[in-house]
Chains A and B, each alone.
Chain A
Amino acid sequence: MVAALQTRAGVMLLAVIILLLPLVLPSPFYFRIATLVFIFALAVLGLNLLMGFAGQVSLGHAGFFGIGAYAVAVGPTHWGIPSWAALILGAVAAGLLAFLVGRPILRLRGHYLAVATLGMGLLIAMVLTNEAQLTGGPDGMPVPRLDLFGWRVRGAMPWYWVSGVTLAIAAWLAANLLDSPTGRALRAIHDSETAASVLGIDLARYKLTAFVLSAVYGAIAGAYLALFDGLVTPATAGFLRSIEFVSMAVLGGLGSILGSVVGATLLVVLPQALTVFHDYEHIVLGLIMIVFMVFLRAGIVPSLAALAVRRKP
């Protein structure tokens, strides 16, 4: 109950921040960064449903991200599908793939699941790289702009609102899900799979639900990034991107909706801020990741929340 209240409060806080942030952002450049944060947070939120709540590791999340991104690139360019329909089709395709692959893959546990999802992500990235007549190969391809019933969505400002509102809705949906029997089942699985199955929880079904949901979140985020950037490359779906998502989820805090946003913010904003260090950028980034994880082991948001609770008498 308390946890549910905290999650709700987190979602409210997020919505307020999205609403008020434009008042303090000084230039389109900052809107661009904020949009990127929202898009990555959306993908990480999906991953967090799987990792933080159901306790299943995925090193292939970028594969679904890539499917969404390439759907809005390939669909309109080659088959004349409108961008918004391609976005939905991409999300459905990613969900369907997760559904089909999920059953066999999710029987694996821990690191074995990690390597299986890693393989799945690599296979997706490889198809995107090698089917060059469709995807433009290693160089990627341009993405037509999103046209929403006559409104041409382009530039940082409109995308700020599209991605911000989507993120708020996605967070709200995730919070509701967690407070439902499904959410409680997922958390039980996270704590102990054996205990959960003894209690009569259908492990395979709930894990699959979380996997499909995470894929759909990832695909929508990928489509947004492609439409926002106007360009996709196979790196969108690459292994490094998957690692980036996992890092964001863990840094921010597994099992915390607000944590997904904080983790995404940190790893999107830091590299931008660290460009002042030029060649030393990666050194500083690596150090920050180590220091944060050593001192805030449960992730930034849960660790700080625990500290705040302990401070109170």
Chain B
Amino acid sequence: MPEFLQFLASGLTVGAIYALVALGFTLIYNASDVINFAQGEFVMLGGMVTVFATAAGVPLPLAALIAIVATVLVGLALHRFAIAPARGASAVTLIIITIGASILLRGLAAVIFDKRFHSLPPIAGNKPLLVGGAAILPQSIIVLAATAVIVVLLWALMTRTLIGKALLATAANRLAARLVGIDTGRMVGLSFVVSAAIGAIGGILVTPITLTSYDVGTLLALKGFAAAMLGGMGSPLGAVLGGLIVGLLEAFGAGYVSSAYKDAIAFLVILDVLFVMPHGLFGRAGVERV
């Protein structure tokens, strides 16, 4: 039982980060049909900027704020200088642009920061809480709580504000949204801002547990993308659940089956789910017009 709880806790913690990355994918995809493979770099930037700002003597909360703002600016620049000029290009062209952006951001991080691993002091200390025999880091609880708060805030933004509704309208039908006077280009920009902020927050929160370095983004993007697809592309709820499921599969797979093949287990389950549900858990089947 303690073993089970231990795996559950670590699975949920990692899963929460995957969920945040998947959420970022989903937001940008909904607004623009772009799969943003630089999403993992947002997470990396959040962690790295905070690390180097605190190292320069900035107090942690301020450093975190600086990191979020910096990442949002990067997200805006990515949209303004790489995605917006290629408006109307095919999906695969846009994907290669985001892959180029991810290589660029990784290269910049390696030059501006360094290529070493870094950590941050945990917000609520290092003393693990003992729950039913399992040792749970306070930081894990903070990660989970913050993820929950982000999901609720996002839900409120989407359903309770005019901007959120404009964003939803853009996702549903871009032409119709433009016809009712929504600046869809600005909405796509906004989706980059929100995704970058979510990614940065995830990066800041998880760094005390998993460490960060200039190249952590690739693996996170890969897992987050898989999670988003498992949940069903375009569904925010699916993205969150997909992330948690992938995290749990990894933790339990590593614990009970084989740590060398933990990723294999996660992907085998994803493949099986897709065979039964070709549009993920919550995705809708699209209709192709001829």
B62 contacts the other chain (Cβ, under 8 Å)? no
CA distance A118 to B223 in the complex (A): 10
With A112-B274, A119-B267 as known contacts, state yes or no: A289 contacts B97, CB within 8 Å.
yes
A251 contacts the other chain (Cβ, under 8 Å)? yes
Bitwise interface map of A from 238 to 265 toward B, beta carbon under 8 Å scored 1, else 0: 0110010011001100100000000000
CA distance A247 to B261 in the complex (A): 28
Bitwise interface map of B from 259 to 276 toward A, beta carbon under 8 Å scored 1, else 0: 011011001101100110
- Smallest Cβ-Cβ distance to B214: which chain A residue: A282
A5 contacts the other chain (Cβ, under 8 Å)? no
Smallest CB–CB gap between A268 and chain B, Å? 15
- Smallest Cβ-Cβ distance to A107: which chain B residue: B278
B126 contacts the other chain (Cβ, under 8 Å)? no
Contact of B107 among A111, A126, A243, A285 (CB under 8 A): A285
CA distance A235 to B99 in the complex (A): 18
CA distance A108 to B290 in the complex (A): 19
Within residues 82 to 118 of chain B, which ones have a CB less than 8 A from any CB in chain A? 82, 85-86, 89-97, 99-108, 110-111
Could you tell me if B264 and A283 are in contact, using CB atoms closer than 8 angstroms? Answer: no
Q: Which of B45-53, B172-180, B191-199, B225-233 binds A?
A: B225-233
Contact of B100 among A104, A293, A298 (CB under 8 A): A293
A123 contacts the other chain (Cβ, under 8 Å)? yes
Could you tell me if A130 and B274 are in contact, using CB atoms closer than 8 angstroms? Answer: no
Could you tell me if A281 and B107 are in contact, using CB atoms closer than 8 angstroms? Answer: yes
CA distance A122 to B92 in the complex (A): 21
- Smallest Cβ-Cβ distance to B38: which chain A residue: A286
- Smallest Cβ-Cβ distance to A51: which chain B residue: B92
- Smallest Cβ-Cβ distance to B280: which chain A residue: A112
A85 contacts the other chain (Cβ, under 8 Å)? no
CA distance A239 to B86 in the complex (A): 26
- Smallest Cβ-Cβ distance to A254: which chain B residue: B92
A57 contacts the other chain (Cβ, under 8 Å)? yes
Could you tell me if A290 and B278 are in contact, using CB atoms closer than 8 angstroms? Answer: no
B104 to chain A: which residues have CB within 8 Å? 282-283, 285-287, 290
CA distance A193 to B288 in the complex (A): 8
A107 to chain B: which residues have CB within 8 Å? 275, 278
B102 to chain A: which residues have CB within 8 Å? 286
- Smallest Cβ-Cβ distance to B272: which chain A residue: A104
Contact of A293 among B93, B270, B283 (CB under 8 A): B93
B170 contacts the other chain (Cβ, under 8 Å)? no
Could you tell me if B270 and A280 are in contact, using CB atoms closer than 8 angstroms? Answer: no
Could you tell me if B263 and A111 are in contact, using CB atoms closer than 8 angstroms? Answer: no
Could you tell me if B82 and A290 are in contact, using CB atoms closer than 8 angstroms? Answer: yes
B140 contacts the other chain (Cβ, under 8 Å)? no
Could you tell me if B260 and A297 are in contact, using CB atoms closer than 8 angstroms? Answer: no
Could you tell me if A119 and B279 are in contact, using CB atoms closer than 8 angstroms? Answer: no
B63 contacts the other chain (Cβ, under 8 Å)? no
- Smallest Cβ-Cβ distance to A191: which chain B residue: B290
CA distance A193 to B261 in the complex (A): 36
Smallest CB–CB gap between A129 and chain B, Å? 8
Smallest CB–CB gap between A294 and chain B, Å? 5
With A119-B271, A280-B107, A297-B89 as known contacts, state yes or no: A195 contacts B96, CB within 8 Å.
no
- Smallest Cβ-Cβ distance to B260: which chain A residue: A130
Contact of A115 among B101, B108, B274 (CB under 8 A): B274
Contact of B270 among A110, A119, A254, A287 (CB under 8 A): A119
Contact of A289 among B96, B226, B278 (CB under 8 A): B96
Could you tell me if B101 and A290 are in contact, using CB atoms closer than 8 angstroms? Answer: yes
- Smallest Cβ-Cβ distance to B229: which chain A residue: A115
A154 to chain B: which residues have CB within 8 Å? none
B218 contacts the other chain (Cβ, under 8 Å)? yes
Could you tell me if B263 and A118 are in contact, using CB atoms closer than 8 angstroms? Answer: no
Interface of B toward A, CB cutoff 8 Å? 35, 82, 85-86, 89-97, 99-108, 110-111, 218, 222, 225-226, 229-230, 233, 260-261, 263-264, 267-268, 270-271, 274-275, 278-280, 283, 288-290
Known: A288-B100, A294-B85. 12 other contacts (CB 8 A): A111-B229, A112-B279, A119-B268, A250-B93, A279-B107, A280-B111, A282-B106, A286-B101, A290-B82, A293-B89, A294-B97, A298-B90
The 3 closest A-B pairs by CB, nearest first: A286-B104, A282-B107, A289-B100
